[in-house]
Structure 1
Amino acid sequence: MARKRKGRDISGWLVVDKPAGITSTSVVNKVRWALQAKKAGHAGTLDPEATGVLAVALGEATKTVPYITDALKAYRFEVRFGAATNTDDAEGEVIASSDARPSDDEIKEALHQFAGDIMQVPPKFSAVKIDGQRAYKLARDGEDVTLAARPLFVDELLLADRPDADTAVLEMVCGKGGYVRSIARDLGNALGCHGHVTWLRRVWSGPFEADEGLTLDRIDELAHDPALDAHIQPLEVGLTDLPELRCTPEGAAKLRNGNPGMVFASDVEYGDECWASLDGRAVAVGIYKAGELHPSRVFVDAE
């Protein structure tokens, strides 16, 4: 018989302003402990040295994680020119160097090739799996790591600041699966001078912004205190990119049992993915077909 997981049945989102020097998993564990939550997960890993938005899903909100993972995200980061590293960031060993430095205009011109739908090769030191093993583990063991390029949508990539000839601050809005370190590496190569990331901050992720996030120090201060609950956002926030359909109590009952339920729709089409609500609370996510929602994810109503 499986052991029952201990903790509170609490659902929603807690936005953390992640500091540098800690893994995303460690942040989730800290939040789970502070809230005494039974279940928690995050929507999109940040590298240990990166800072900014880490949205932590609690309880039933973990079922909405894919919709935040798929949403657009914004990053602000600094690229140092003149050196390539084996990790594509400042933590790695320098593997190539150059005395060349690009002008502002050269940088702006080169950025055009990284806009829109592009193909990007992840860093060798990344969590991408190769034959079941993480690429970073193979790279640390000295193995020759070759990663395939994968598609990425870059909505915007701009030169935001130029502190000096050696560095440039960029701002990027992109879709799922983007590696900022790869952008810095490939930009340096395109400019003929090499480059790597020195610092990175995720400014926003879908509906969540870094400015509204709690620091880990603040979470420590409020640990096991009901005041921390006041910072939890409803799980429905994770569904803001999907159309909302309202349903009747009868329709909600059917949906919660995993069956198609009647919904009221006006601006959606047959086959659209939507979510159904009753009195503002999420009931299910599914596919709309001829007046009914066919559920793929069902939310347990704690009340």
Structure 2
Amino acid sequence: MARKRKGEKVDGWMVVDKPLGLSSAQVVGRIKYLTKAQKVGHGGTLDPLASGILPIGLGEATKTMPYIVDASKDYAFTIRFGSSTDSDDLEGATVKSGGRIPLQSEIEAALPQFTGTIEQVPPAYSAIKVDGQRAYKLARDGETVELKARPVEIHRLRLDAFDADAGEATLFVTCGKGTYVRSLARDIALALDTLGHVSMLRRLRVGPFGLERAISLEKLDELSHSARAVDYLGPITTALDDIPAVAVTEPEADRIRCGQTLHLPTAKQGTIVLMCGDVPLAIAENTDGTVKSLRVFNM
């Protein structure tokens, strides 16, 4: 992709390998500064104590954000057995200690009950709103936070390593939207009649975005001196890879831009991406051949 010129719009996806210690909002701020994009957002929060894939949408790509937030995700995480914390990770204070270290065979035997659709109570330190306030704010203020269990999808879960001396197990999980890995680690430990919390969390994939496409903030800082940070932008349609694309003519594109509907009886039913040549035009909904735009791209 060509480098950004003065006054040029910046549209696309940038995949950042977020380092430890920074919040997702801080990474967004850094990318906005480096690229000078007017609109920037991230596709799924990573805690400061987590590293890995943080998809950043710039410009018109922010209109595709819901499709990334709802995408499945891969994580590597380590459970430290023997103690629990109020945040279910290293950031919080120790609540209980003295739990036993399970056997590797016990861990492996417990994992099948955590695959498929499971009920999960989010951590008290989460961004879920309770009576209009974020749960983590209430928890930090010393209030008791009671969150309801909700169904989440665990597609794959396996044990990758076990260190009995350290009392730690490292696992890999593929999960659906709304899953809290900290809760998963806590619940696995409880199922083993012990205590546990996350000591390492790294996100390996978000939807179509994996580590092979990621760039570090250090590399972006280097590129910013030559105004080449935007060279690492991917197309906005990357987030829509699973949605069928339908080609339209320029006159049809003009109708969509004006808020009108199209009659496309042969197009696939449901959500589609309208393309005018190589340029994405809109995310649209096709109902019995009547196509109405949901999000129109200003490209």
For Structure 1 versus Structure 2, the TM-score category normalised by the shorter chain is over 0.9
Q: 1:32-71 alignment to 2 at 5 Å?
A: 32-71=32-71
Query: Aligned with 2:228: secondary structure?
Result: helix
Write the deviation string for residues 206-259 of structure 1: whole angstroms up to 9, x where unpaired: 011123211111111112633222110000101112111111112111112222
CA deviation after TM superposition for structure 1 residue 203, in Å = 0.2
Match of 2:3 in 1: none
The answer to whether the 8 A contact 1:40-1:62 is kept is: yes
Measure, in 1, the Cα distance between the counterparts of 2:265 and 2:207: 26
Letter in 2 for 1:40: V
Q: Which residue of 2 aligns with 1:297?
A: 295
Q: Note the alpha carbon deviations across 1:99-142, whole angstroms, 9 max, x for none.
A: 42211221112111111111111110111111111111111111
Shift of 1:9: 2.3
CA distance in 2, matches of 1:215, 1:263: 43
**What TM-score do you get using the length of structure 2 for normalisation?**
0.94
Matched position secondary structure for 2:185: helix
Does the CA contact (< 8 Å) of 1:17 and 1:51 recur in 2? yes
> CA-atom RMSD, angstroms?
1.6
Give 1:282's aligned residue: 280
- The 1:7/1:105 distance shift into structure 2, 3 A limit, reads farther
> What secondary structure sits across from 1:49 in the alignment?
coil
Instruction: Determine the C-alpha separation between the residues in 1 that align with 2:13 and 2:296.
Output: 17
Q: Structure 2: any 5+ residue segments left out of the alignment? A: 1-5
SS at match of 1:90: coil
Asked whether 1:200 is paired with 2:198, we answer no
Paired residue type of 2:208: P
Deviations 1:41-64 (A, max 9, x none): 000000111000000000000000
Which moves more between the two structures, 197-206 or 148-157? 148-157
3-state SS in 2 of match to 1:80: strand
What residue in structure 1 maps to residue 86 of structure 2?
Answer: 86
Distance 2:176 2:238 in 1: 18
Between the aligned partners of 1:10 and 1:85, the Cα distance in structure 2 is: 42
Cα distance in 1, alignment partners of residues 164 and 226 from structure 2: 46
Q: Is the 8 A contact 2:15 2:213 kept in 1?
A: yes
State the partner residue of 1:239.
240
Q: What is the alpha-carbon distance in structure 1 between the residues aligned to residue 72 and residue 126 of structure 2?
A: 20
Give matches, 1:150-165, under 5 Å: 150-165=150-165
SS at match of 2:186: helix
Report the alpha carbon displacement of residue 264 of structure 1 after superposing the two structures with TM. Answer: 7.5
Q: Which residue of 1 aligns with 2:257?
A: 256
Q: Distance in 1 between matches of 2:20 and 2:293?
A: 39
Give the Cα–Cα distance (whole angstroms) in 1 for the partners of residues 117 and 179 of structure 2: 11
* Structure 2 CA distance for aligned equivalents of residues 130 and 203 of structure 1: 30
AA partner of residue 198 (structure 2): V
Q: Does the 8 Å CA contact 1:286/1:295 hold for their aligned counterparts? A: yes
Q: CA 1:85–1:289 in 2, change beyond 3 Å: closer, same or farther?
A: same
Contact 2:208/2:238 (<8 A) preserved = yes
Question: Does residue 1:141 correspond to 2:141, yes or no?
Answer: yes
Q: Distance in 2 between matches of 1:235 and 1:209?
A: 16
The answer to whether the 8 A contact 1:15-1:214 is kept is yes
**Aligned residue type for 1:150:** R
Q: Per-residue CA shift, 1:1-36, capped at 9, x if unaligned? A: xxxxx9752110011000010100000010010001
C-alpha change, 1:98 and 1:208, in structure 2 (3 Å) is same
Contact 1:84 1:96 in 2 (8 A): yes
What TM-score do you get using the length of structure 1 for normalisation? 0.93
Q: CA deviation at 1:83?
A: 0.6
